[in-house]
Structure 1
Amino acid sequence: MEYHRITSIEDPLFKQMHELMQKVFPPEEVLEFELWREPLEDPSIRVFVAILNGKVVGATEYRYYEDFNVAMTDFTIIGEAGLGIGPFLADKRAEDLHALASANGKSLFGMFAEIYDPYKVEQYEFGGVKPMDPYVRREVLAHLGYKRLDFPYVHPSWNNDGEAVSGLDLCFLPMEKGTSELPAELIVKFLRRYYAVLPNKPESWNEMVAGLEAKEKLALITF
């Protein structure tokens, strides 16, 4: 399997990746094809695909914030079961992120991720690919060490229509064992930076962030 970075919508592999996204994710979670042009050209956004025999069989997007010393996994797609795509992407992503943190003179503090709550989103078929099933994914990510941040979470729709998207938890993978909480300030700064690209924020998102600003720390809870 090859790990290939995509930096342009003109890359023929991007079309395959976008079609795979449309297959496995609900529509409100997928940015329109043309709207990917600027994100892919942004050096801070890292989009990689797993290629097997010339075909895109998986993909992941993530980013590293030097000033926060944290990463964010935007998505991971496993296109087929039984090929080891998930471990391949996770290992390659970890190698890349640790190298980025090292180049920043630090050890990676941890990584955020939005993880579907299977009890709220089981109606999604995720392309019929069993490894993408929210029950399976949640268990796998729990084994990797991800923990849920203890607050009700919503995020702005990627359609930029001002709608709130629920059914997910904001989670964090700490690199230091024993980490049981995060500073609320870090979470607020991260969310404001991450969703700065979407000007139409739902009021429920603004209220959520205001609630976080009133706190000092948020607990990390095992799934």
Structure 2
Amino acid sequence: MEYIRVSSIEDPNFAAMHQLMSSIFPAEEVLEFGLWKEPIEDPDIHVYVALHNGNVVGATEYRYYPDMRVAMTDFTIIGTMGLGIGRFLYVQRAKDLQRLQRESGTESIGMFAEIYRPHAVTSFKFGNVLPMHPAVRREVLSHLGYQKLDFPYVHPSWDHEGKAVTELDLGFFPADESLRQLPSSLVVKFLKQYYSALPNKPKEWVDMVGELGERDEVALLPL
């Protein structure tokens, strides 16, 4: 299996990845094809596909913020079972994140991820790929060490319609297992930076960020 970076919407691997993504995730979670042009060319946004026998069978997107010393996993896609795609993407991503830390002279304190709450998800299809089922994904992330931040989470929809998406928790994978909370200021800074690309923010998101700004810390809880 090959780990191949995609940095242009003209790359055939991007078209295959976008089709796979659209077949798995709800529409509000998928950025329209043409709107990927600028983000995917950003050197700080890392999009990789897992290529097996010339076919895109999985993908992951992530980024690292040296100033905050945190990473973010935007998505992980497993297109089929029985190939070890999830483990392959996890190991390759971890190696690349270690490289980014070395190059920036920083040491990460952990990685954010948005994690579906299975009982809140209205559709359990998720492309009929069992590893992508919200309950399976949540348990795998918990097993790896992810926890959830203790506040009701919403995020702006990626379809640019400004809807509030409420079916997820904001998770965090601490590099130090003994970490029990994060500074609220860090969470606010991260969310503002991460969603700066979306001009339409729902009132629920604005209110959430405002309430976080009034707190000192946010507890990390089990998934």
User: How does the TM-score come out when normalised to structure 1?
Assistant: 0.99
Provide the C-alpha distance between the structure 2 equivalents of 1:30 and 1:124, rounded to a whole number of angstroms.
17
Question: 2:189 matched to 1:192?
Answer: no
Question: 2:129 matched to 1:92?
Answer: no
Provide the C-alpha distance between the structure 1 equivalents of 2:122 and 2:222, rounded to a whole number of angstroms.
20
Partner of 1:214: 214
Structure 1 segments (4+ residues) deviating >4 Å:
none
Alpha-carbon shift at residue 104 of structure 1 (Å): 1.4
Residue-pair matches, total: 223
- TM-superposition CA deviations, 1:139-162 (whole Å, max 9, x none): 000000000000000000111112
- TM-superposition CA deviations, 1:188-223 (whole Å, max 9, x none): 000000001111100000000000000000000011
For structure 2, the residue ranges without an aligned partner over 5 or more in a row are: none
Partner of 1:130: 130
Letter in 2 for 1:189: K
Question: 2:23 matched to 1:23?
Answer: yes
SS for the counterpart of 2:208 is helix
Letter in 2 for 1:34: G
- TM-superposition CA deviations, 1:94-152 (whole Å, max 9, x none): 11001101211122211000000011116231110000001100000000000000000
Provide the C-alpha distance between the structure 2 equivalents of 1:16 and 1:35, rounded to a whole number of angstroms.
16
Provide the C-alpha distance between the structure 2 equivalents of 1:35 and 1:177, rounded to a whole number of angstroms.
38
Provide the C-alpha distance between the structure 2 equivalents of 1:122 and 1:202, rounded to a whole number of angstroms.
20
Map 1:63-142; keep pairs closer than 5 Å: 63-121=63-121, 123-142=123-142
SS for the counterpart of 1:57 is strand
Provide the C-alpha distance between the structure 2 equivalents of 1:64 and 1:107, rounded to a whole number of angstroms.
11
Question: 2:45 matched to 1:45?
Answer: yes
Please say if residues 26 and 124 of structure 1, whose CA atoms lie closer than 8 Å, have aligned partners that are also in contact: no
SS for the counterpart of 1:196 is helix
Provide the C-alpha distance between the structure 2 equivalents of 1:72 and 1:207, rounded to a whole number of angstroms.
22
Provide the C-alpha distance between the structure 2 equivalents of 1:151 and 1:158, rounded to a whole number of angstroms.
21
Provide the C-alpha distance between the structure 1 equivalents of 2:198 and 2:122, rounded to a whole number of angstroms.
27
Partner of 1:182: 182
Letter in 2 for 1:221: L
Provide the C-alpha distance between the structure 1 equivalents of 2:220 and 2:180, rounded to a whole number of angstroms.
5
Please say if residues 122 and 134 of structure 1, whose CA atoms lie closer than 8 Å, have aligned partners that are also in contact: no
Provide the C-alpha distance between the structure 1 equivalents of 2:201 and 2:4, rounded to a whole number of angstroms.
33
For structure 1, the residue ranges without an aligned partner over 5 or more in a row are: none
Letter in 1 for 2:52: L
Which range is displaced more, 182-191 or 159-168? 159-168
Partner of 2:34: 34
